[in-house]
Amino acid sequence: MNTIEHWINGSYVPAGERTAPVTNPATGKVTGQVALASVEDGNAAVAAAKAAFPAWRDTSLARRTQVLFAFRELLNSRKDELAAIITSEHGKVLDDALGEVSRGQEVVEFACGIPHLLKGSYTENASTKVDIHSIRQALGPVAIISPFNFPAMVPMWFFPIAIAAGNTVIIKPSEKDPTAVNWVAELWKEAGLPDGVFNVLHGDKVAVDTLLTHPDIKAVSFVGSTPIAKYVYETATAHGKRVQALGGAKNHMIVLPDADLDLAADAAINAGFGSAGERCMAVSALLAVGDIADSLVEKIADRARTLRTGDGMRGCDMGPLVTSQHRDKVSGYVDAGEAAGATLVVDGRGVVPDAEGDGFFVGPTLFDHVTTDMSIYQEEIFGPVLSVVRVDSYDDALATINANPYGNGTAIFTNDGGAARRFENEVEVGMVGINVPVPVPMAYYSFGGWKNSLFGDTHAHGSEGVGFFTRGKAVTTRWLDPSHGGINLGFPQNS
């Protein structure tokens, strides 16, 4: 049996007594056992990161950047391997897995520019013959705790910048698809990263709690569901760490009556059913404004029925859900939506997938006449279930979005520039698409939601990411000359 071990200080560390099965969701077959860290394993990972920190922090920017470029080249030339690992443990189709790797690679490319990003500022003669400059310095060992749905990209939102800035990292990947990060660890070694700078600690709550409370961990970047994000934020800040904790989502797409309904239907399909709805930026609620709803629902339904669900290695449109428990949970939501009186237009339960074995499939599912009191609207289903909510006006659509406790992503489909501009200004959501259904910002902007979709005040990557993984220092300098003499016990005043 394949055992997925921790990676500490540049090599694998055998699993202890506790392990958990890893499954290929397209076949239902167990493919490995992942180590579940003990507190001692966690302490060993932190000790390795702590020991590696001083030398890595003091490594020149020129050398650090060379390692980053080498990593980028290796990743770019071998990304097919990583995509295949993602598909075999997560289930998303191979094209989508490649897309995930490419979006992560963008952050590596952004981090290659770290010498420019870390430049401080300088003020000459702030006071007479007194100069001031600012610098940004690394924090120390930092922890990254990631969810199952982007086993490569989400860790890559953080570690390239953390490492480029001179920190050392410990990643705690999801125990459902842990192999991708081990592959990345080996790639870093090949790229010349010193041992101990990049460590992987596999596990569950024990591993997470060890990192959240360990005095040597300086910062925590977390991505996952809202209740755990809130817990991570509260626990790690109580232990004196800076924290960015990205949580769950319920993303709305508004379609105004003037929109091109065919293009809007295409977008709804892509954003609703891509990665089987297991994206934090998936559209799960479509707000159809005015009298377009009948026609729009028909167009979406026609397209949904043509999608091929099956094994992600077989060129299908949509893969399985990550576990049998999650498949059952998603099917349960479909039952609940029907029972609550929503119109089930396309039913994905009982789909016949293009796959061998006993995978965890639910096909594309479309509900119409959903109301905001139904559980299928209120909760994050995280599956291929799209709910159409009919509203009378733009104002009703906006009020619905702003009343929702989540605020990750949203999109408006319209050809009316004035309406789009108003929406951009009025909506209480962190990432907004104008005719773009999944508005994931590029690496040089920052990714993050509002309200219950993010705890903390810093978004991922871009300049906010650089700020998160460094702390500022302001240095005031004078080179003494006779004009600086004399005794004066007062607080210095500018002159």
Residues in touch with ligand NAD (CB under 6 A): 145-150, 154, 172, 174-175, 204-205, 208, 223-225, 228, 246-249, 280, 380, 382, 408, 449, 453
The one catalytic residue among 82, 117, 142, 280: 280
Name the percent of the chain in helix, strand, coil, to the closest 5.
40, 25, 35
Q: Which helix (H) or strand (E) holds 71?
A: helix 61-90
Q: What is the torsional sign of CA 159, 161, 162, 164? A: positive
In the bound state with ligand NAD, the residue whose beta carbon lies nearer, of 333 and 382, is 382
Whose tokens are 């039913």? That residue is: 347
In the bound state with ligand NAD, the residue whose beta carbon lies nearer, of 204 and 338, is 204
Q: Report yes or no: 389 and 288 within 8 Å, Cβ to Cβ.
A: yes
Comparing every residue's Cβ against ligand NAD, the nearest one is 224
In the bound state with ligand NAD, the residue whose beta carbon lies nearer, of 281 and 420, is 281
In the bound state with ligand NAD, the residue whose beta carbon lies nearer, of 208 and 287, is 208
CB of 208 to ligand NAD, least distance (A): 4
Burial degree of 135 (CB within 10 A; 0-12, 13-18, 19+): middle
Angle at CA 180, nearest 5°, toward 179 and 186? 90
Give Cβ neighbours of residue 42 (< 8 Å, ≥ 6 apart): 201, 203, 206, 207, 210, 211, 214
CB of 426 to ligand NAD, least distance (A): 22
CB of 162 to ligand NAD, least distance (A): 17
Is 112 designated active site? no
In the bound state with ligand NAD, the residue whose beta carbon lies nearer, of 51 and 206, is 206
CB of 90 to ligand NAD, least distance (A): 10
Question: Which tokens is 186 given?
Answer: 């080996």
CB of 7 to ligand NAD, least distance (A): 16
CB of 278 to ligand NAD, least distance (A): 7
Q: Report yes or no: 383 and 269 within 8 Å, Cβ to Cβ.
A: no
Count how many Cα atoms sit within 13 Å of the Cα of residue 465 in the half-sphere of its side chain: 33
The residue type at 338: E
Q: How far, in whole angstroms, is CA 323 from its chain's centroid?
A: 20
Q: Report yes or no: 202 and 4 within 8 Å, Cβ to Cβ.
A: yes
In the bound state with ligand NAD, the residue whose beta carbon lies nearer, of 176 and 390, is 176
CB of 406 to ligand NAD, least distance (A): 9
Q: Which helix (H) or strand (E) holds 83?
A: helix 61-90
Residues 119 and 472: their CA atoms lie apart, in Å, by 11
Residues 154 and 148: their CA atoms lie apart, in Å, by 9
In the bound state with ligand NAD, the residue whose beta carbon lies nearer, of 43 and 225, is 225
What are the CA-CA distances from residue 424 to residues 127, 152, 433 (Å)? 43, 30, 8
| Residues with catalytic function | 280
